[in-house]
């Protein structure tokens, strides 16, 4: 029998545990308050707690949002404590979130993530098969009180995880991302490469290429200094804006352990 379980968080004690984990990950000023979580948990949102035996090891917070003219469940915070990472807890939290969202009448979940975090890119693009639907430069402003991103502009990818026939019969019509995937192959070029010193090197983007490759660091914590972090934000922003304008979409993400480098694979939408 699994020692892990996930349930809704409704009591103040539950929500205080969520707040404690959020503060440990993002800092006091960057996490939602217990009062905010309580409102969302009781009014169309989904707040979940993950446990190992009786110890809280992860949580997720989501709430209703009007996105591009339709109501979605906006997944704002999801975290797993360091001692419990690489055990599939984040994946189970997302599946539980989707099941609860479906029961509440939602047909899609939306959230944002840092384009330069390889682990999250793999999780969202490969594991969950969510679609990168938008890019938002400096989405939350310059980060303050965030232990991971202090002083850095908060560029984010917005991802869409949707289903139209209930979670047991997902309908994935041939949308822009899938058309882009069908066009992979042929000529491929790099827009950004990552050096052995984890520095970004930008290349002229050939907008006639079938496939564009965009490398990112495998682990931001291993960057040599904050200046390098800022260089990556700038290089990534310029590449993404150019690729979106040229009608490319992200269709895959890969990781090379030997180089500690991740890579977005972009395909053109005809």
Domain count, the chain: 2
In a domain, 167, yes or no: no
Please check whether residues 154 and 186 belong to one and the same domain: no
In this structure, are 68 and 202 located in the same domain?
no
> What share of the chain in percent tops pLDDT 90?
74
Q: Is residue 185 part of a domain?
A: yes
Q: Clarify whether residues 150 and 189 are in a common domain.
A: no
Q: How confident is the model at residue 165 (pLDDT cuts 50, 70, 90)?
A: low
* Distance from C-alpha of 175 to C-alpha of 128, rounded to nearest angstrom: 17
- pTM (whole model) above 0.95: no
My answer on whether 20 and 118 are in the same domain is yes
Do 223 and 115 lie in one domain? The reply is: no
Domain range for 156: 4-162
Bridge partners (DSSP) listed for residue 109: 73, 161
At 109-161, the pLDDT tens digits run: 999 999 999 999 999 999 999 999 999 999 999 877 665 677 889 999 999 99
**What does the DSSP 8-state code read for residue 153?**
B
For residues 49 and 20, give the distance between their C-alpha atoms in angstroms, rounded to a whole number.
12
Domain co-membership, 142 together with 52: yes
Query: Has residue 171 been placed in a domain?
Result: no
- Say if residue 144 is in the same domain as residue 62: yes
| Whole-angstrom distance, CA of residue 30 vs CA of residue 21 | 12
Which residues pair with residue 87 across a beta bridge? none
- Give Cα separations from 176 to 54, 71, 132, 145, 182 (angstroms): 44, 21, 10, 37, 10
Angle between helices 34-42 and 12-26 (to 10 degrees): 120
| For residues 168-174, average pLDDT | 44
According to the model, what pLDDT value does residue 25 have?
A: 80
pLDDT value, residue 150: 74
Q: Which two tokens stand for residue 42?
A: 């009781």
First to last CA, the chain: 49
Residues 157 and 203 in one domain: no
């Amino acid at each position: 029998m699994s020692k892990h379980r996930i349930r809704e968080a409704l009591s103040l004690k539950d929500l205080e545990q969520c707040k404690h984990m959020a503060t440990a990950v993002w800092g006091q000023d960057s996490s939602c308050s217990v009062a905010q979580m309580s409102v969302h948990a009781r009014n169309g949102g989904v707040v979940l707690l993950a446990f190992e035996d009786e110890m809280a090891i992860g949580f997720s917070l989501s709430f209703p949002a009007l996105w591009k003219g339709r109501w979605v469940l906006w997944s704002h915070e999801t975290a797993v404590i360091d001692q419990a990472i690489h055990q599939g807890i984040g994946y189970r939290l997302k599946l539980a979130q989707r099941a609860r969202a479906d029961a509440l009448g939602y047909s899609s979940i939306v959230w944002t993530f840092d384009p330069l975090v390889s682990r999250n890119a793999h999780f969202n693009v490969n594991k969950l098969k969510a679609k990168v639907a938008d890019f938002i430069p400096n989405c939350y402003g310059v980060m303050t009180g965030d232990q991971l991103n202090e002083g850095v502009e908060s560029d984010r990818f917005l991802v869409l995880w949707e289903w139209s026939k209930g979670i047991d019969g997902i309908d994935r019509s041939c949308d822009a991302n899938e058309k882009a995937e069908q066009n992979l192959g042929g000529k491929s070029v790099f827009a950004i490469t990552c050096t052995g010193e984890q520095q970004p090197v930008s290349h002229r983007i050939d907008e006639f290429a079938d496939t564009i490759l965009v490398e990112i660091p495998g682990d931001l914590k291993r960057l040599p200094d904050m200046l390098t972090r800022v260089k990556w934000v700038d290089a990534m922003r310029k590449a993404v804006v150019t690729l979106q304008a040229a009608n490319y979409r992200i269709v895959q993400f890969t990781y090379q352990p030997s180089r500690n480098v991740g890579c977005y694979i972009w395909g053109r939408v005809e």
